[in-house]
Structure formats: structure tokens, C-alpha cells
Structure 1
Amino acid sequence: MTQAEQLAAFVVQASYGDLSKSVCQQLKIRVLDALGCAIGAMDGEPILLIRSQNEDFGGTSRCTMIGGGQGAPDRTAFYHSALVRYLDFNDSYLAKGETCHPSDNLGAILAAAEYAHQKGQVFMTALAVSYQVHCRLSDVAPLRAKGFDHTTQGAYAVAAGVSKALGMDQTKTAHAIALCGTAFNALRVTRTGKLSHWKGLAYPHTAFGCTHATFLAMRGITGPLGVFEGNKGFMDTISGRFEIDWSRENLERVNQTIIKRYNAEIHSQTAIEGILELKEEYGFSAAEVARIEIDIFDVAYHIIGGGEEGDKTLVSSKEEADHSLPYMIAVAVLDDRVMPDQYLLERIQNNDVQALLRKVTVRPSEAYSRQFPDQMPCRITVSLLNGRLMVKEKQDYEGFHTRPIRWETVVQKFERLSSPYTDAPLRREIIDAVANLDSIQIAYLMRLLAKVQVSMA
């Protein structure tokens, strides 16, 4: 069999019985976390534009949209994926040369599972499959250094998860993987230099296109089954050679994914927790700060610290702010939190944060780089105008796999993000539905999510 056919065999053979107790619990935590992110993004500018386009285009009403209305599965996948991704607050997976957000697959799998009238157990299995595929390809075939975006590996994860949710056989699943892997090889420029809306929409677009392609495969459309190892395939042209024995894979990788405590790019989480701890311990104010120095692992430096992906002191939009460690540290000092309100345009443009972020220096550390991704280490040094020096060194944060986040903490995050768009009884119904995800129909969860309001503020 080709690599695509071997992966398809893994997808088809996966079952709910393969999910350990830990995996089931961690999947539910990540579903609730992602839904909180989605509901909290309901009135985001690009979200409203996407919803307007879906309504304008019309089409079949086979799937329910969060916030009401219905649409075709591929457009619903795009919309839901954009909701999950817009705040940049959903989960992550850290490989040595790649970072991905496996809950980016949730929107597509929700749409497919509702279309196919699936139970929660099938949905959970499909989601676990997508997590495993996305994370393992990030492990063995990192692409960031080669100029390709992590959505490239995600195409295979969407194909795998949607195929599982639709109950497709091995042959059609293999062709779905072939179609998606061939067609969606995205450029890393999405996340370098001056950032745009596309930073948050690149994966939703992959979810849209791969959902569409997987439905084509369901109907019999074929693709190049040598997509991985074939002449001018993925290995030849992009990733280089790698091996995964899919017959030996399990569904445990979700346990290694991590959840954000702060509404900030994933590599910033330890540093933000550290600066907030320093401020609480010493009680200094922003006006007293002469400079803040952050020594951190090289991946964080290059993506959010001013390394190879561009200057991070030039911040004028949400997309630039949540990928700027100087901005996130500065706003944490000023506001004692980093949540969606810290990315409102008027907050970003305020002179206080613009002045303070220029006092933040980020440096790569070889020692910390060697510890990543098993740890997320950093050292924060705050120098005050009176000469006082405060230092904190950290290895991880609450939400990292060494300090796993609890269900109760994610419930609090969900409540905080969703409260402007829901009332308390609806929030409780959604929380209970996710807690009992393996004993409900996905259609029931979608009926609850349809009651979310675009704005109740």
C-alpha cells in the first residue's frame, strides 16, 4: 500500500473503544475550550464578513451554524473553523520544528458529523484521529523552516477526521487524503512580516477546501495515491523523507497538546505568566519600568520576539499584537491580564502600551532552546528606574502538559468568553452536553450552539 492507503487504514480501523479514559477526558476539555474560543469570537470583524458571504451565497442547508442559520458542510466548516481560530486562544501542539493547533480541525469534523447524523462517540473518535495525524506529521515532517505553513500538514488531518466522521471506507478515505494533501500546500508568509486577517483564516480555508474535497472523494472522485512518496509528491518537493508506521499508531497524542491560559500566541504563555507573577510579588507599576529583558527559546524568539519572522515592535492590528511578545508583555504589565479586550484597536493604539513595548527586549537562549519543546523556559528581568532589579525564571505554565489544565478551569474560561453571547442556562446546557459528549447526538449539541447570540452586550 502507498503511505496514503496506510494512513487510510489507520483512520478506518480507529474506534471509540480505542480511546483511553484520559483521551476521552482531554478531548472533552479541548472541545469545550475550542467552543469557548468560537463563541467569544462571534462579533469579530472577519467572522461577520464570512457569515455575510455564507448568507449571500445560500445553498443547501445541511449543517447548523453556531449563532443560528444553516449552510452547506464545507462553508459551515469554514465558518466554525474561523470562529475557533479568530481569537488565537485555542490549543496547540509543540514539535521541535513545528507548532500546530489541532482544535483547528473541530469545525470541519463538527460539520461532517452533523451531516452524517453521527453520535458523539463517532465525533470524538474522528477528532482524536485528526489530532493524531496532525501532531505526528508535525513531529516527523516540520515545514516552518522551509517556508510552508503548518496548515499544510493540517490538510491531511482534516481529510482523516472528516472521512472518519462521514464513515467512509478505506479506499475513499485514501483518495480524500490524496486530494487534500496535493491541493493545500500553504506558504508561511501568512505569519511573517505585517500580519493580516489571513493569519486567522488560513486554517479555516484549509478546513473548507479539505471538507469539500473529502465529500468529492465520498462520491467517487479519485486523487494521486502517491501523494506522500510518489514522484514530485510531498516528500520529494516539500518535506523530505520521513516514516510513520500507521499500523503502530494509537490515539493518545491529544494528551500532549496544551491549552492557553492567556489570549496570546502559544510560545508566550510562560513569559506572560512570569511577568504577571513578578508584578504580583513586587507590586511595581508600568511607570516605574526602565526595561524588561526576556531570554527565551529560539522558536519563540523567531516567531514572536523579533527574529526571522519580522520586527515585533511595529504593532497596529490584532493580528500583529497577538504575535508580538513585546506587546503582550507590555499590555500584561499595564492591564494585569491578556484577554480579548487587550486586542481592541483602541487598546493597541494607546500611547501607554506603544511606549512600554519598546522597552521590552527579547533574546534567544541556546540553553533554553535545547529544553524546548519538552519545556517552555524563559527568564524575565525587570529593571526599574530606581535601579531595582527583579528576575524570574520559569520552565512551564498552567496549561502545559507538565501542568495540565483542569476541567473546572476550562469551564471558567468558557464562561468568561461566552458570557457576552449567551445566558447562564444556555452555557450550562452546552457545558453539560460536552461533559456527556459520548452519550449524545451531535445534532443536539448543534441545536444548543444555534441559540448563541451574535451580541448580547
Structure 2
Amino acid sequence: MTDVQDLARFVADANFDDLSEQAVEQLKIRVLDTLGVAIGALDAEPIVAIRGLIDDLGGAPQSTLIGGGRTAPDRAAFFNSALSRYLDFMDSDLAKGETNHPSDTFGAVLAASESVDGTGRELLTAFAVAYQVHARLSDVAPVRAKGFDHTSQGSFAAAASAAKALRLPEEQIANAIAISGTANHALRVTRTGNLSHWKGLAYPQVSKEGMFAALLASRGITGPEEVFEGNKGYRESITKPFELDWLAEDLERVTRSIIKKHNAEIHSQSALDAAQDVRAQAGFAPAEITGVKLRTFDVAYSIIGGGEEGDKRSIRTKEEADHSLPWMLAVVLLDGELNPAQYEPERIVADDVQELMRTVEITPDDGFSARFPDEMPAELEVTLRDGTVLRAERSTYEGFHTDPLSWEGARRKFDALTAPFTSEEQRDAIAKVVHHLEDAHVRELTALLAEVRTTRA
């Protein structure tokens, strides 16, 4: 048995009945969260452009596009994953050397499951597979330090979960994973320097290609059976030697993943909570701020704080803003929140945000770094003109795996994001199907998603 064959057996054997009640509930919360973030992005400029391209290209009408229309499963996987990824408000899984976003795979799982008239139980099981595969590979085989993107592990997860949702047999699952895992490894430059639209589209590309690999495998196309351990394979070329016994894995990793409270890169969440805490203190006045200092853990500093992935003070676009910790701290100190409204173009470049951002100093702390990823420590110090120093410290937040988001909390976020595009009746209907997804068919959900408006009311 090769490694990919072991992985395929794990995927083939995955069963809804193996999931704990907690895992099922957290999967449904993540389905609702993913759909809310997706619907909230329907009128974003890049999404509108992609939808126009898909309409021009056409495609066999097998899978539903959120907002209406149907196309081929691989194109639906790309579009719906682009929706759920664009706002950068999706969930995350933290590993010491890698951060990943398993919910980015949902577009592939949804498209695949609908195309075979799948059940909610099947969809949830395939989604659990996506979390387990992506997160466990990130644990043992991080690639960021070698210049590859976290979508690298996603290439295996997308194919595995799509193949599971398509009900492929074990041999075809192995081929789907091998094809996708050989062909799709993006460069980390996606998230360094001045960021482009591709920052939000790199995983949708993998979602599409994982879906297409599963479709190829379903027609008998084979892939390299030693994709992991073979000559010039994944271990030798991209990652490092690692061991992972897939046959000893469960489907519970979703319970360790975390959901964003703020519409911002995941490592900023506790720091932004600290900024809100400072705002709530007596004497705080944004106009009186003369200095902002943040101590944080090394991963946050490296990715969004001005460390190895580039300066974070030249901010002109949404893609740059949601990956700049100085900008995000400034806007929360000024506005008290960071939600899609803060990413309006005029707010991103407003003088008050730009000026306050330049007073922010960020330093990594070895002690804080040692506590990551079990915690996300952040200590914020804001100095006012009269010499007053306001301080706040956070190590977790609501939505972290030690303080998991409840269904009620997920529903509040879903309602806030989708209200411009849905009626209260539509929101209730979608939430009801998701909350009882194990008793529904996927097409009941996609029929509701097709009725969502693509423009704001």
C-alpha cells in the first residue's frame, strides 16, 4: 500500500456514524458560516467578473451557483469557493508551521454532492474528510517556509472530499488525490508583498482542480501512485520527510478549527479584540492617540505584521488591508469594528486610518510564540497625548477552539452578512436546512441558495 492508497482507504471508510455529536454540530456551524460569508460577497467586483466569465463559458448544468444558475461541477466549485473565500471571513485551522482554511473546500464538496443527488449526511462526511486531510497534512508537512502556499495541502483535501462526495470507490479516490496532489502547488508569493485578487482565488482554483481530478478519476484516469513518497514526489520536492498513519485517523479535527469574529486575517483576531478592549477604557479618544505598540506571536508578525512576508504599511486595496495588522488595528481603534463595511475603498485609504496605521509598532515575543497555536497571545499598548497608557491583553477570542462559536453565534454572523441579499424568510429557511442537514438532501439546500439575490436590496 502506498501512502495515497492508505489515504484513499481512510476516505472511502469515512462514515457519518463515526462523527461525534460535537463534530456534527461544528460541521453544521461551519456550513452556515461558509454560506454566510459566500452570500455576503456576491456583489464584490472580482466575483461579478468571475460570474460573467462562467456565464460566457457555460457548462453542463449539474451544480448550482449561489445566487442562481447552474454549470459544470468544476466551475461551480471555483465560483462558490471564490465566494466563500473573497471576504477573508472564513474559518481556519492552526498548525505550528502552517495555517489552513478547510472550509475553502466547501465549494467542491457542495458541487460534487449535488451532482449525484447526495444527502446531507454524505455532504457532512465529505466536509469532515476535507478538514481532517488538510489539517493533518498541515500539522506534519508544512510548506510555507519553503515558499509554497497552504493551498498545497488543500490540493489533497479538495480531491479527497470531492471524490468522497461523488461516491467514488477506493481506487478512484486514490487516483483523484494523486492527480490533484501532483498538479496543484501554488507559490507563497500569492500572499506576500502587494496583494492581488489571486490572494482570494488561489484556493478556489485548487477547489476547482480537485473537483476536476475526481471527475477524471471517475472516468478511469490514473495518477502517480507514489505521489507522496516516490522519486521527486511530495516529500522530496515540496515538504520534508513525515509520517502520517491515515488508518489511525478519525473525523474530529473540525472541532479544533476556529471561526473568525472579525473580518480579518486569522492571526489578528485576538489583537483586534484587545483593540476593542482599549476602546472601552475610560479616557480613550482616537484623536488623542500618539502611539500604538503590539506584542504578538511570531507567525502573526511574519505574515501580517511586517515580518518576512513584507511591509504592511502600503495599503490601497482590500486584499492588502485584510492582511495588514497595522491597518487593521488602526481601523478598529477608530471605528470599533472590522466588518465588510470597513473595506469600502474610501475607508481603506482614508487619512485617519492611514495616519494612525503609521504609529503602530509590532514586535514578536518569544514567550507568546511558544504558546501558539494553542493560544493566540496579543498585548496592546496605546499611548495618548497626555501620557496616559491604555493596555489590554488577549490570548483567545469567541470562535477559538477553546471558546467555540455556538449555533446562535453563527446565526448572528450569518444574518449580518446575508441580510443585504436575502429576506428574513430566506435566512430562516437556509438556516433550518443546515441545522438539520443530516435529515435533508443537498438539493434542498442548493434550491434555496439559487434564490438568493446577487445585488443588495
Q: Give the structure-2-normalised TM-score.
A: 0.99
Aligned to 2:278: 278
Aligned to 2:62: 62
Letter of the 2:189 counterpart:
V
Letter of the 1:316 counterpart:
R
Whether 2:388 is the aligned partner of 1:381: answer no
Residues 330-356 of structure 1 show CA distances to partners (whole Å, capped at 9, x for unaligned) of: 000111110001111110011110001
State how far apart, in whole Å, the 2-side matches of 1:280 and 1:59 are: 52
Letter of the 1:301 counterpart:
Y
Aligned to 1:361: 361
State how far apart, in whole Å, the 2-side matches of 1:283 and 1:336 are: 15
- Compute the displacement of 1:404 (Å): 1.2
Matches within 5 A, 1:193-342: 193-342=193-342
State how far apart, in whole Å, the 1-side matches of 2:160 and 2:102 are: 13
State how far apart, in whole Å, the 2-side matches of 1:234 and 1:455 are: 43
Matches within 5 A, 1:31-110: 31-110=31-110
For residues 214 and 283 of structure 1, do their structure 2 counterparts lie closer, same or farther at Cα, with a shift above 3 Å needed? farther
State how far apart, in whole Å, the 1-side matches of 2:30 and 2:279 are: 30
Contact 1:260–1:399 (CA<8 Å) still a contact in 2?
yes
Residues 411-457 of structure 1 show CA distances to partners (whole Å, capped at 9, x for unaligned) of: 00000000000010000000101000100000010000001001133
State how far apart, in whole Å, the 2-side matches of 1:10 and 1:29 are: 24
- Compute the displacement of 1:283 (Å): 4.7
State how far apart, in whole Å, the 1-side matches of 2:456 and 2:95 are: 39
Residues 387-410 of structure 1 show CA distances to partners (whole Å, capped at 9, x for unaligned) of: 001111221111111111111011
State how far apart, in whole Å, the 1-side matches of 2:405 and 2:128 are: 18
Residues 233-288 of structure 1 show CA distances to partners (whole Å, capped at 9, x for unaligned) of: 00011111101101100000000000000000000000001110111123512111
Residues 184-209 of structure 1 show CA distances to partners (whole Å, capped at 9, x for unaligned) of: 01100000000000000000001111
State how far apart, in whole Å, the 2-side matches of 1:64 and 1:394 are: 41
State how far apart, in whole Å, the 2-side matches of 1:12 and 1:326 are: 45
What's the Cα RMSD here?
Answer: 0.7
State how far apart, in whole Å, the 1-side matches of 2:267 and 2:436 are: 32
Contact 2:149–2:186 (CA<8 Å) still a contact in 1?
yes
Letter of the 1:400 counterpart:
F
Contact 1:285–1:333 (CA<8 Å) still a contact in 2?
no
Unaligned runs of 5+ in 2: none
Whether 2:8 is the aligned partner of 1:5: answer no
Unaligned runs of 5+ in 1: none
- Identity in percent: 53
Whether 2:121 is the aligned partner of 1:121: answer yes
State how far apart, in whole Å, the 1-side matches of 2:87 and 2:176 are: 30
Contact 1:286–1:333 (CA<8 Å) still a contact in 2?
yes
State how far apart, in whole Å, the 2-side matches of 1:180 and 1:63 are: 21
Aligned to 1:423: 423
State how far apart, in whole Å, the 2-side matches of 1:402 and 1:210 are: 31
State how far apart, in whole Å, the 2-side matches of 1:434 and 1:41 are: 20
State which drifts further: 106-115 or 279-288. Answer: 279-288
Aligned to 1:14: 14
Letter of the 1:126 counterpart:
A
State how far apart, in whole Å, the 2-side matches of 1:252 and 1:432 are: 24
Aligned to 1:173: 173
State how far apart, in whole Å, the 2-side matches of 1:47 and 1:149 are: 22
- Compute the displacement of 1:214 (Å): 1.1
State how far apart, in whole Å, the 1-side matches of 2:185 and 2:5 are: 20
State how far apart, in whole Å, the 1-side matches of 2:325 and 2:59 are: 42
Matched residue SS, 1:290: strand
Matches within 5 A, 1:156-195: 156-195=156-195
State how far apart, in whole Å, the 2-side matches of 1:452 and 1:317 are: 27
State how far apart, in whole Å, the 2-side matches of 1:409 and 1:418 are: 14
State how far apart, in whole Å, the 2-side matches of 1:22 and 1:3 are: 29
Letter of the 1:250 counterpart:
D
State how far apart, in whole Å, the 2-side matches of 1:236 and 1:20 are: 36
Contact 1:62–1:115 (CA<8 Å) still a contact in 2?
yes
State how far apart, in whole Å, the 2-side matches of 1:257 and 1:327 are: 26
State how far apart, in whole Å, the 2-side matches of 1:430 and 1:254 are: 21
Letter of the 2:335 counterpart:
D
Q: Give the structure-1-normalised TM-score.
A: 0.99
Residues 59-100 of structure 1 show CA distances to partners (whole Å, capped at 9, x for unaligned) of: 211111110011000000000000000000000000000000
State how far apart, in whole Å, the 1-side matches of 2:451 and 2:334 are: 36
State how far apart, in whole Å, the 2-side matches of 1:454 and 1:262 are: 23
State how far apart, in whole Å, the 1-side matches of 2:417 and 2:281 are: 27
Contact 2:281–2:390 (CA<8 Å) still a contact in 1?
no
